[in-house]
Amino acid sequence: MHGILSGEEVAVARVDAESFELRGYGRKEAKGAKEEREGRLTLSLEEAAFLLEAGKIVIRKETEKESALTLEEFFRHALEIFPNFGARYIVYKDLKQRGYVVHPGGVDFWLYSRGTKPGEKPARHFIRILSEREFLSVKDLEDLLILAHNMRKELIIAVVDDESDITYYRVKEAKFNAIETRADKAGEMRGEGGEGTAFLLGDKVLLRDAAFAETLYKNHFYGTLTKEGRLLLSLVEAAYLIKRERLEMKFEQFIEYATAMEHDFMNKYAVYEDLMEKGLVVKTGFKFGSHFRVYKALNLKHSSDLIHVLPREHVFSMSELARAVRLAHGVKKRMIFAQTFKKSLIKNAVQTSQQTLEDQIKYVEIGRMKL
């Protein structure tokens, strides 16, 4: 088999094209093209490199048709076109050897089910390829998810590490399904209503009403109950209860206090409130390296999700992403990143509707996947 290298593609003459097409390689020129192009096959650099390494094709440059390129010379040319060609080729080769049909396009590659030829069925996934030294912003991740949604594809991020091993991550919008609704939505948290007496204790709030404290702790899973019957609440728990007029404090003043204590408090609080309003039980995720752990119901022993709150301007390193997802996978939980829009959240801190919160917060689930 012979191919001619020109820019970012390798052209295979019509006489050889049929055998390549049957194996799912390349893009065949349609009828009606120029006579010299009609019926020939155009290979991407990754496809051509795979065939060249396997000894199935001889490649020459368009301007130097007499001398065949070595694999090293071909790679050198490909790296001039795509600086990340090394990572792209490692992923392409891995997927081909696993029996998948891979086609360049979309962001980096289209991925088809095993045995499917491009054109017979649409691709199921598109793949974004990164090396372990690259970075991925929350904004770029959001754009990739929007693209996946618009194309009706599933997004996969492939990360190539320094040992040329590949970790595949499935990325999708996170959905939440609470098992039961929250009694406090209906105003049933404290019988006939009223507010509990509490005071500030550094980065905690101490509720002194013993009866109310026991109700909040045993029936609604708030805070930590002391031996003396008092309830220690976190700042986000206290803010949620104050906003619902369950604690005798001014919401605006408390927000100022909490924000001075914790610079990203409003981002965390907005996510906490949104999750609580969805009917979930939310507790600190500190022991798991995240902001929150989430339960679908009060009586469950194990949380289902880890939630980490990120501002929209956040940029992931691949090691940060790998560490969070690996830990969540190890404890059998979903790793979910909550993206917030900080300016809007602060502006609407006091009178934020649930619909507004949902518009300002996006939840992204990232998990390892086997291919």
CA gap 345, 347 in Å, rounded: 6
3-state secondary structure of 162: coil
- Whether 302 is catalytic is yes
CATH fold of 1-81, please? MutS, DNA mismatch repair protein, domain I (3.40.1170)
Tell me: the pLDDT tens digits for 278-328?
A: 999 999 999 999 999 999 987 778 999 999 999 889 999 999 999 999 999
CB 153 within 8 A of CB 126: yes
Q: Does pLDDT of 190 surpass 60?
A: no
Going by pLDDT thresholds of 50, 70 and 90, the confidence category of residue 194 is low
pLDDT of residue 192: 41
Q: Which of 34, 227, 302, 370 is catalytic?
A: 302
The pLDDT, as a whole number, for residue 342 is: 52
Region of residue 205 (left: phi > 0; alpha: psi -120 to 50; beta: else)? beta
Length of the chain: 371
Q: Which of 295, 296, 362, 363 is catalytic?
A: 295
Q: Yes or no: say if 206 and 249 are a contact pair by the CB < 8 Å rule.
A: no
Is 295 a residue of the active site?
yes
Active-site annotation holder among 96, 103, 278, 333: 333
Specify the CATH number of the domain 183-368. Answer: 3.40.1350.10
Q: pLDDT at position 64, please?
A: 72
Q: Which residues contact 137 (CB under 8 A, 6 or more apart)?
A: 313, 314, 315, 316
The residue extents of the domains of the chain are 1-81, 84-173, 183-368
Rounded to whole angstroms, the Cα distance separating 261 from 250 reads: 17
| 370 pLDDT higher than 60 | yes
pLDDT digits (tens, 9 = 90+) for 211-226: 999 999 998 899 999 9
Percentage of the chain beyond pLDDT 70 is 84
| Tens digit of each residue's pLDDT (9 = 90 or more) over 14-49 | 766 666 555 678 877 655 545 455 667 899 999 999
Here the contacts of 262-268 (C-beta below 8 Å, separation 24 or greater) are: 262/203, 262/235, 264/309, 264/311, 265/235, 265/236, 266/342, 266/345, 266/346, 266/349, 267/309, 267/311, 267/340, 267/342, 267/345, 268/236, 268/309
pLDDT at 65 exceeding the cut of 90: no
| pLDDT tens column, 133-162 | 999 999 999 999 999 999 999 999 999 999
Q: What is the pLDDT of residue 15?
A: 60
Q: Which is more confident, 341 or 197?
A: 197
Residue 189 has pLDDT above 70, yes or no: no
Q: At what angle do helices 235-243 and 265-277 cross, to 10 degrees?
A: 60
Strands 58-61 and 2-6, by their bridges, are: parallel
pLDDT attached to residue 196: 85
Q: What is the pLDDT of residue 320?
A: 96
pLDDT in tens, 344-360: 444 455 555 555 555 68
CATH top-level class of 84-173: alpha beta
Percent of the chain with pLDDT over 90: 66
Average pLDDT, the chain: 86
The question of whether 93 is a catalytic residue gets the answer no
84-173 and 183-368, same CATH topology: yes
- pLDDT given for residue 186 in this prediction: 41
Most confident of 17-21, 111-115, 297-301, 333-337: 333-337
Sign of the C-alpha dihedral computed for residues 290, 296, 299 and 304 taken in this order: negative
Q: What is the pTM of this model?
A: 0.86
